[in-house]
Amino acid sequence: MKQAIASMLIVVGLMVTTPPAQAKGEGFNEVVKLIEQFYHVKHQGVPLLARAGIKTATTVARISGGPRRQIAEAGSVKVAYFEDQDFRSVAGYPQFKAQMGTALATNWSPLIQVASPKEQEQTYIYLQDAGEKFKVLVVTVEPRDACVVQVTLSPQTLAKLMQTPDEMGNLITTDATKDE
Amino acid sequence: MKLLTNTTLKAALLVLLTIAATASVRAQDARIQTSQLDALAAKASETVDVNIDESLMQMTARFLSSKDPDEAKVKALVNGLKGIYVKSFEFESEGQYSAADLESIRVQLRGSAWSKVVNINSKKEGSIEVYLMHVAGNINGLAVLAFEPKEIMVVNIVGPVDLEKLSDLEGNFGVPVLGIEYPRAKRKN
């Protein structure tokens, strides 16, 4: 009996701790991996930042229902941070852009790509039609930090954001990562 | 033998007609290729690349409210458009792009459907060339080639363009504010 309970606990434990398998072409995981490999950096997961007192919109969206309107649909936010690491690369921006394009070519469409190689800042926004909703992937790379955010948006929200695509990345990233 | 020759001739004619029809469809497509400029990114101090394709344009037009005056205005602006594409490069110093880079854009705008409607050459303000694609009396696309010593920009709007409202599109959907007075878009004071 004890053995059966122990086995069950192990199974439950594995279910809780093992992240769900990501389908090929998912986008978020590929981009996080690409950044890690290209710049030789490591991302920090949400739990570490949550412990440090930063609440992501994943948490906020899960408990939302208040008057503040979230850009992202509830529970749809994925965030990966890269803090205080070196994002200078000899290969440079064009090669990173090309590799990201290849990684996302199957299921994602590039919406806007802005880069200031001198300032070492890059912003990419990719879109994926997900039936009744849209997935938006925002990748921001700065000299010492980077952030990957994937959110699901309603077409109504996306239509509004589309009017100023150059501000869209900042709005989504800020919304997904701001302190509550 | 005669039957075989006739059949072969008919097949050849069919192939030629298919090729001609395909060429005609391509000729009416106002989308211009700018990927050949991507190599400039390595030398640029700032690059911007905006791609809003037909499905996104249609989605935007569909989901913007007709009741909200601001959204209704934008909705009317983008209704029917098949794409907005912007590519720009800024450089630290002069001479980073060549005449061949400009020519790679212009060569696509020399077809019979395209006509140059604005040509501004100013050492101070830079140069701006605006091209319109006319198909069956309608404007089916627009291309803007703007350049100065340290900057090059290509704006391509695909689909039926309303020149009266075109300046309203500047500052929206990634279209930069160019301050161009388009033909027939002049407002009466």
CB-based contacts of A86-91 (< 8 A; 24+ apart in sequence): A86/A39, A86/A41, A86/A143, A86/A144, A87/A39, A87/A41, A87/A120, A87/A141, A87/A142, A87/A143, A87/A144, A87/A145, A87/A146, A88/A120, A88/A143, A89/A38, A89/A39, A91/A38
Residue B157: beta bridge partners?
B84, B142
* Cα–Cα distances in angstroms (integers) from residue B185 to residues B66, B72, B138, B176, B179, in the given order: 24, 20, 15, 17, 12
Q: Which residues contact B75 (CB under 8 A, 6 or more apart)?
A: B61, B64, B65, B66
What is the tens place of the pLDDT at every residue in B77-103?
888 899 999 999 999 999 999 999 999
State the count of interchain CB pairs (< 8 A) between A and B: 77
SS3 at position B70 = helix
Contact state of B48 with A93 under an 8 Å Cβ cutoff:
no
Between B51 and A174, residue with greater pLDDT: B51
Average pLDDT over residues A113-138: 90
Mean pLDDT per 10-residue section of chain B, whose length is 189 residues: 57 50 55 94 92 88 85 85 94 95 96 90 84 91 95 95 82 82 54
CA distance B88 to chain A (A): 9
pTM over 0.90: no
* Helix ranges restricted to H, chain A: 2-17, 28-39, 46-51, 57-62, 92-104, 155-162, 165-177
Cβ distance of A114 and B53 shorter than 8 Å: no
Contacts made by residues A76-80, CB under 8 angstroms, sequence distance 24+: A76/A151, A76/A152, A77/A149, A77/A150, A77/A151, A77/A176, A78/A28, A78/A148, A78/A149, A78/A150, A78/A151, A79/A46, A79/A147, A79/A148, A79/A149, A79/A176, A79/A177, A80/A28, A80/A32, A80/A43, A80/A44, A80/A45, A80/A147, A80/A148
pLDDT of A117: 82
Cross-strand bridge partners of residue B46: B90
- Residue of B45, B47, B79, B175 to mutate for A, most A C-beta atoms under 10 A: B47
The residue extents of the domains of chain B are 1-29, 31-169
Q: Is the pLDDT of residue A132 over 80?
A: yes
Nearest-angstrom CA–CA distance, B100 and B115 = 20
Condensed to tens digits (0 to 9), the pLDDT of residues A24-78 reads: 447 899 999 999 999 999 998 665 455 444 444 444 344 333 333 467 776 678 8
Beta bridge partners of A147: A81, A140
**HSE (side-chain half, CA atoms, 13 Å) at B45:** 10
Q: What is the pLDDT, as a whole number, of residue B9?
A: 55
ipTM of this predicted complex? 0.76
What confidence score (pLDDT) does residue A71 get? 73
Specify whether the CB–CB gap between A73 and A151 falls below 8 A: yes
CB A90 within 8 A of CB A119: no
Query: Closest chain A residue to B41 measured between Cα atoms?
Result: A94
> What residues of B are in the A interface, CB distance below 8 Å?
38-39, 41-42, 44-53, 55-56, 59-60, 62-64, 71, 74, 92, 172-174
Q: Which residue has the higher pLDDT, A41 or A88?
A: A41
pLDDT at residue A39, as a whole number: 93
Computed over every residue of chain A, the mean pLDDT equals 75
In A17-153, the DSSP E strands lie at 78-82, 109-116, 121-130, 133-141, 146-153
According to DSSP, the residues that pair with B130 across neighbouring strands are B118, B144
Nearest CB neighbour to B50, from listed A112, A156, A159: A112
Contact A20, A13 (CB under 8 A): no
Identity of the residue numbered B62: R
What are the tokens at B97?
């792009």
pLDDT at B123: 73
pLDDT at residue A120 tops 80: yes
What's residue B66's pLDDT?
Answer: 87
Which residues on adjacent β-strands are paired with residue B87? B49, B154
- What is the C-alpha to C-alpha distance for residues A18 and A10, in angstroms, rounded to an integer? 12
Provide the shortest C-alpha distance from residue A13 to chain B (in Å).
43
8 Å CB contact of B172 and A116? no
Query: How much is the average pLDDT of A113-141?
Result: 90
Comparing CB atoms, the residue among B42, B62, B172 nearest residue A92 is B42
Element holding B16 (H helix, E strand): helix B2-27
Nearest CA in chain B to A95: B42
For A45, A171, B153, the CA distances from B43, given in Å and listed in that order, are 35, 29, 15
B chain contacts of residue A158, beta-carbon cutoff 8 Å: 59-60, 63
